[in-house]
A = this chain, B = another copy of it.
Amino acid sequence: MSETPADNVVRTYIDTHRDAFLEDLAEWLRIPSVSAQPEHADDVRRSAEWLAAHLAKTGFPVAEVWETPGAPAVFAEWPSDDPGAPTVLVYGHHDVQPAELADGWHTEPFEPVVKDGRMYARGAADDKGQVFFHTLGVRAHLAATGAEAPAVHLKLLVEGEEESGSAHFRALVEREAARLAADVVIVSDTGMWSETTPTVCTGMRGVADCEIDLHGPDQDIHSGAFGGAVPNPATVAARLVAALHDADEKVAIPGFYDNVAELTDEERQLIAELPFDEDEWLRTAKSHAAAGEKGYSTLERVWARPTAEVNGIGGGYQGPGGKTIVPASAHLKLSFRLVSGQDPYEIEAAVRDWVAAHVPDGIRHSLVFGAPTRPCLTPLGHPALRSVVRAMERAFGQKVRFTREGGSGPAADLQDVLGAPVLFLGISVPSDGWHAPNEKVELDLLLKGVETAAHLWTDLAAHWRPAA
């Protein structure tokens, strides 16, 4: 990993443009593009239009807002002058999780604040920051090569519904498959092991989520007059949640594990070699105990094992004081993390059967699944993965290791539809607070991401000529 003139050009270019880059990112982060909340639909559109304009300004000859039946995506393309160069599709998303000051934010979630080398804002790490390092990245790449166009055929697809289940993403990819065609997909929506241990992610869990409504009495009724003699939908909701797991914390839904790709001994060994400190991990998780499926380590549980989780539960009176009622209804939001081998639609069918079998007489239920996200694994022998590792090692100046991610993204849909392998290039760290209050991005790491992207296109073009 000796320094080259290109390394210096890239670093100097980044230093020179750092302030403007961060100002532009802050401007984008001010747009509250919360895709799960209908009242923010206009903001999600504004975010897409802002990004398309910014990509055009960056130099992409093509930069378009792509409509979907839901929130719009952004597509940009910058062909290489070398027709035989690989075609790379970078994936990210411009929508963000819901955020309210009252959730525990120290500053307004949509008013970015830079403090102690970090930028705090909803979307700073997940995923606007990570989309954004590719904009300065390609400019730094051009500064290093001296060319007018990147060394690879570069495409960007930045969707607007990732945080609400990517309901229309697969259809969009199918519709635009010809323009999206690529030799490899690089997903920038993941993280690294830590600030000091750069890693490449090689797999993500999928997710299937559902809402279950349970209706008992036609209205709230007096728990003195009727309690103890009619079914209570809040009790039924709680019993469903309690029945999700067995005594070993395995998911108790019949068929749930049928096609799970079990960890190999080698995979378990690679995971065990990482410098994992459970106390530190718990601090990052803001949690006070490790718990989960018997027979697996914490990292195995979050990276390679499927789960059933209750994200929300509600029923009856939740205001101040008491109210002695049997509630009319109760509601559950459940999500299931899936691993390689599990088909989301088979899981959905298994959950539907299981719920129907657990709801007693006198309780009506409805169950709605969102669009699922499939699990995926990167082919470890792919030449593009070696390029990603080398580019990161140049930027970070140290050995890069391998991880997985417990989270989910629509990467598997890209792999399915486009027939291209999926790699992961992310610079976020566990303390960034994805989906949580006070989300932030480490500015040093964000600029290492810029540097990695600048090197990656050169390395890929130099080492890989995909078969035509």
Contacts from A to B (Cβ < 8 Å): 36-38, 97-98, 103-104, 164-165, 191, 205, 207, 209, 211, 216-232, 234-235, 237-245, 282, 285-293, 298, 301-302, 305-307, 309-328, 330-331, 333, 335, 337, 360-364, 370, 405-408, 430, 434-437
Contact = CB atoms under 8 A, between A and B. Distances in A.
Nearest to A310: B234
Secondary structure type dominating chain A contacts? loop
Given A211-B322, A291-B360, A309 B232 contact: yes
Given A219-B437, A241-B242, A291-B361, 11 more contacts: A222-B436, A223-B311, A224-B406, A225-B285, A225-B406, A228-B302, A229-B292, A230-B291, A313-B316, A313-B318, A317-B333
Nearest to A302: B229
A314 B311 contact: no
Given A221-B287, A237-B238, A316 B312 contact: yes
A264 to B, nearest CB: 20
B37 A289 contact: no
Task: For the complex of A and B, list the 4 residue pairs with the smallest distance between their C-beta atoms, beginning with the closest.
Answer: A289-B362, A224-B407, A242-B242, A238-B241
Given A37-B319, A370-B322, A436 B314 contact: no
B434 A313 contact: no
Contacts of A370: 322
A103 B289 contact: no
A464 to B, nearest CB: 31
B311 A435 contact: no
Contacts of A104: 219
Contacts of A221: 285-287, 435-436
Contacts of A306: 228
A378 B363 CA distance: 36
A228 B327 contact: no
Contacts of A360: 289, 291
Nearest to A240: B238
Residue among A223, A244, A282, A315 with the highest chain B CB neighbour number at 10 A: A223
Contact of A38 (B103, B311, B320, B331): B320
B37 A321 contact: yes
B335 A322 contact: yes
A293 B217 CA distance: 18
A386 to B, nearest CB: 27
Contacts of A289: 230-231, 360-363
A285 B227 CA distance: 10
20 contacts: A37-B321, A38-B320, A98-B319, A164-B322, A207-B224, A218-B286, A221-B287, A224-B408, A225-B302, A228-B301, A230-B282, A231-B287, A237-B313, A309-B326, A313-B314, A313-B315, A316-B333, A322-B335, A324-B435, A325-B436
B37 A320 contact: yes
A363 B103 CA distance: 20
B337 A224 contact: yes
B164 A321 contact: yes
A327 to B, nearest CB: 7
A246 to B, nearest CB: 12
Contacts of A288: 216-217, 361-364
A293 B98 contact: no
Contacts of A323: 36, 97-98, 311-312, 333, 435
Contacts of A222: 407, 434-436
